[in-house]
């Protein structure tokens, strides 16, 4: 007899049903999307059964955008409207094009924007917009396959991605209308896929050999958290180079190495790739090209790629050295990337690390699978005891400095919980208290950021300006509660405040603050530079005033005194009227030059005073 599930009004009739979350591997060559179904994580295929989506975008006629295999087919016939490897441009500025341009044969637009834009039939396109097209296709694949809306995703990024590259990835997801739970490092995702986050603590190596790039990461697992100890690799080395090595060998055997026939060269590469894949499961393969027939053995193939594999192992050796580790301290080696299917690669990696690598999971899919498992946890589909959520800070946290400037202590997108300490000092002689103003935001000046709170550190021993050592500690717990404390080193005097850093800010407001910081970046830096020079001018004038007051004209004639006062007045005028930091900087140098004789005279006076009543031999 079948049982009918009855539920309370408003409650689901399928208690096992969970929120649909997915993991996305947004790759340079290929991208994938995976999700957890019935407790098992797996990648999702398109209507043709293909799991891998080539990370290629073609801008066709009539505003049609093609992504994947169909776009890949257009790469040769319409190269200027077909974008590939755009991941290499993510988070990069126009100033980076000189180093990246050789690998990216696109027609870049002349723009005042700091973000490189590529000319296409559809207009000027950034790497963020191109990546959003890939993400839209993956999102549609998941929702069509599973028949539900995605509640959120985890997207993987290389371990070496900096803050700008990570933020660009988030921006692409936002354009694709995806809710990003978290960005996680690709090697971390691979380790999660193998369940290494649930096992004993130790150090793990992740060997990632894709189609166009190689990366190695050394991770330390401690209490369920992965720490990246070192990364290395080669952004221009991958399985494509294996194909080129085979193709060159085939052309030489067929005595066609000097051919200019582009179709034949493309066929040689296709033949090489098919041979490489066939040699994964057999000892030799027959090859037919341009009327030549022959055989390629696995032994010959190994010889052809030996130097390339050695380059990857050299990068592994460097990463171990950077992490100050020996090979015997690595407890597991995880293989990632389709090119790690090559038996010779696995053999050499096992030989280098002196242990068999983990290869149970499809190396093309392992990163996406790990991301899906993390997304499943973050969506709330796991029991409470498995719900250790490590969130990120949405906006930077910092302190007000002299001149109304902001010093960032914790940058946005830093994973919490986190503790950061920074040392500061006093600005004026005899200063016995310090006002600490905590701010949130990405702008360079106080008035452009959000004030979170203020407190005062009192009972600082009176000292000359710059002598006090005041440590300010920012602590953000797993719930996002910020605690800021300050301590003076010599007396141990302490003071602190607790703040909820994201309280009262909606996602729209956070997005607006980020957008403002990007749009005003250049102006903000100019303002910061101006105010820094204004503070330096104040410091120089106060130092001169204090010195002249202390000496009471004993070291200066009236004429010299008036000359110094005139130089000071010139600086004061420039400081209060100029809006250019370089002008103030020049005025400071002019005053300092005018006072050089006075500084030397004071120094000599101090030395004579210290030597009074003593013999040189005593020293």
DSSP labels for 263-304?
A: HHHHHHHHHHHHHHHHTTTSSEEEEEETTEEEEEEHHHHHHH
Residue 582's CB is within 10 A of a number of other CB atoms, namely 11
Burial 102-129 (b: 16+ CB within 10 A, else e): eebebeebeeeeebbbbebebebbbbbb
Helix, strand or coil for residue 3? Answer: coil
**Catalytic residue numbers?**
25, 87, 186, 208
Q: What is the pLDDT of residue 4?
A: 38
Each residue's pLDDT tens digit, 300-311 = 999 999 999 999
Sign of CA dihedral 255, 260, 264, 268: positive
Helix, strand or coil for residue 492? Answer: coil
Assess whether pLDDT exceeds 80 at residue 506: no
CB of 202 closer than 8 Å to CB of 400: no
Residue 586 tokens read as 């020049």
CB of 205 closer than 8 Å to CB of 316: yes
Query: Distance (Å, rounded) from C-alpha 458 to C-alpha 519?
Result: 39
Q: What is the pLDDT of residue 499?
A: 64
Query: What structural domains and CATH numbers belong to the chain?
Result: 16-194+364-385 (3.30.420.40), 198-360 (3.30.420.40), 397-516 (2.60.34.10), 522-611 (1.20.1270.10)
Each residue's pLDDT tens digit, 417-464 = 788 888 888 777 788 888 888 888 887 778 878 887 788 888 888 887
Query: Distance (Å, rounded) from C-alpha 331 to C-alpha 481?
Result: 36
Residues listed for the chain: 619
Helix, strand or coil for residue 572? Answer: helix
What does 294-338 look like in DSSP terms, one character per residue?
A: EEEEHHHHHHHHHHHHHHHHHHHHHHHHHTT--GGGEEEEEEESG
Assess whether pLDDT exceeds 90 at residue 141: yes
The rounded percent of the chain whose pLDDT value lies above 70 is 84
CB of 169 closer than 8 Å to CB of 62: no
Q: What is the pLDDT of residue 284?
A: 93
Query: Distance (Å, rounded) from C-alpha 375 to C-alpha 22?
Result: 6
Each residue's pLDDT tens digit, 461-491 = 888 777 788 888 888 765 466 788 888 877 7
Each residue's pLDDT tens digit, 527-547 = 777 888 888 888 888 888 888
Query: Distance (Å, rounded) from C-alpha 561 to C-alpha 565?
Result: 6
483 in the Ramachandran plot: left (φ > 0), alpha (ψ -120 to 50) or beta? beta
Query: Distance (Å, rounded) from C-alpha 241 to C-alpha 247?
Result: 10
Assess whether pLDDT exceeds 70 at residue 290: yes
Residue 41 tokens read as 């994580």
* Average pLDDT of the chain to the nearest whole number: 81
- Give me the helix-helix angle, 521-551 and 581-594, nearest 10°: 20
Each residue's pLDDT tens digit, 44-101 = 999 999 999 999 999 988 888 999 998 888 877 788 888 888 887 887 777 666 655 4
Residue 100: C-alpha distances to residues 41, 87, 521 (Å) = 36, 11, 23
Each residue's pLDDT tens digit, 558-603 = 888 888 888 888 888 888 888 888 888 888 888 888 888 888 887 8
Higher pLDDT, 611 or 373: 373
Q: What is the pLDDT of residue 207?
A: 95
Each residue's pLDDT tens digit, 203-256 = 999 999 988 788 898 988 876 677 778 888 887 788 889 999 999 999 999 888
Sign of CA dihedral 345, 347, 350, 352: negative
For residue 411, give every residue at least 6 positions away whose Cβ sits within 8 Å of its Cβ, in sequence order, or none: 163, 393, 396
502 pLDDT tier (thresholds 50, 70, 90): very low
Name the nearest CA neighbour of 56 among 100, 5, 120, 113.
120
């Amino acid at each position: 007899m079948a049982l009918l599930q009855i539920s309370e009004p408003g409650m689901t009739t399928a208690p096992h049903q969970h929120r649909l979350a997915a993991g996305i591997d947004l790759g340079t060559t290929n991208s994938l999307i995976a999700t957890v179904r019935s407790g098992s994580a797996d990648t999702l295929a398109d209507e043709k059964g293909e799991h891998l989506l080539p990370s290629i975008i073609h801008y066709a006629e009539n505003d049609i955008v093609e992504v994947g295999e169909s776009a890949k087919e257009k790469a040769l016939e319409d190269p200027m409207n077909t974008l590939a490897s755009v991941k290499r441009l993510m988070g990069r500025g126009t100033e980076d094009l000189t180093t990246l341009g050789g690998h990216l044969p696109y027609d870049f637009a002349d723009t005042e924007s700091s973000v490189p834009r590529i000319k296409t039939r559809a207009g000027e396109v950034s790497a963020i917009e191109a990546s959003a097209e890939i993400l839209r296709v993956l999102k549609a694949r998941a929702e069509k396959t599973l028949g539900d809306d995605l509640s959120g995703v985890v997207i993987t990024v290389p371990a070496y991605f900096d803050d700008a590259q990570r933020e660009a990835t988030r921006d692409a997801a936002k354009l694709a209308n995806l809710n990003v739970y978290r960005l996680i490092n690709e090697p971390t995702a691979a380790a999660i896929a193998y369940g290494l986050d649930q096992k004993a603590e130790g150090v793990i190596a992740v060997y990632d050999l894709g189609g166009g790039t190689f990366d190695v990461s050394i991770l330390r697992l401690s209490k369920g958290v992965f720490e990246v100890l070192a990364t290395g690799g080669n952004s221009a080395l991958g399985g494509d180079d294996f194909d080129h090595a085979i193709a060159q060998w085939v052309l030489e055997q067929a005595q066609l190495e000097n051919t200019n026939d582009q179709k034949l060269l493309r066929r040689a590469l296709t033949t090489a790739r098919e041979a490489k894949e066939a040699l994964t499961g057999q000892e030799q393969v027959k090859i037919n090209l341009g009327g030549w027939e022959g055989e390629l053995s696995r032994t010959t193939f190994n010889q052809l790629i030996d130097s390339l594999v050695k380059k990857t192992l050299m990068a592994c050796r460097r990463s171990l050295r950077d992490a100050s580790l020996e090979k015997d301290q690595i407890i597991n080696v995880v293989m990632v990337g389709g090119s790690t299917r090559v038996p010779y690669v696995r053999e050499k990696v096992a030989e280098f690390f002196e242990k068999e690598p983990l290869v149970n999971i499809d190396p093309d899919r392992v990163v996406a699978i790990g991301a899906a498992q993390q997304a499943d946890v973050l969506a709330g589909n796991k029991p409470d005891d498995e719900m250790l959520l490590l969130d990120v800070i949405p906006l930077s946290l910092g302190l007000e400095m002299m001149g109304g400037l902001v010093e960032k202590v914790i940058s946005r997108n830093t994973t919490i919980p986190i503790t950061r300490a920074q040392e500061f000092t006093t600005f004026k002689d005899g200063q016995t208290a310090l006002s600490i103003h905590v701010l949130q935001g990405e702008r360079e000046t106080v008035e452009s950021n959000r004030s979170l709170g203020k407190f005062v550190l009192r009972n600082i021993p009176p000292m000359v300006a710059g002598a006090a050592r005041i440590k300010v500690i920012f602590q953000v717990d797993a719930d996002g509660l910020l605690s800021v404390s300050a301590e003076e080193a010599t007396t141990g005097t302490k003071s602190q405040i607790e703040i909820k850093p994201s309280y009262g800010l909606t996602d729209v407001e956070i997005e607006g603050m980020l957008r403002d910081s990007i749009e005003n970046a250049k102006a903000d830096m100019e303002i910061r530079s101006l105010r820094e020079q204004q503070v330096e001018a104040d410091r120089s004038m106060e130092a001169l005033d204090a010195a002249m007051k202390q000496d009471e004209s004993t070291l200066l004639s009236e004429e010299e005194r008036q000359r110094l006062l005139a130089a000071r007045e010139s600086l004061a005028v420039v400081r209060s009227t100029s809006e250019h930091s370089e002008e103030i900087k020049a005025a400071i140098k002019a005053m300092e030059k005018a006072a050089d004789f006075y500084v030397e005279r004071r120094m000599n006076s101090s030395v004579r005073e210290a030597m009074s009543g003593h013999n040189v031999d005593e020293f």
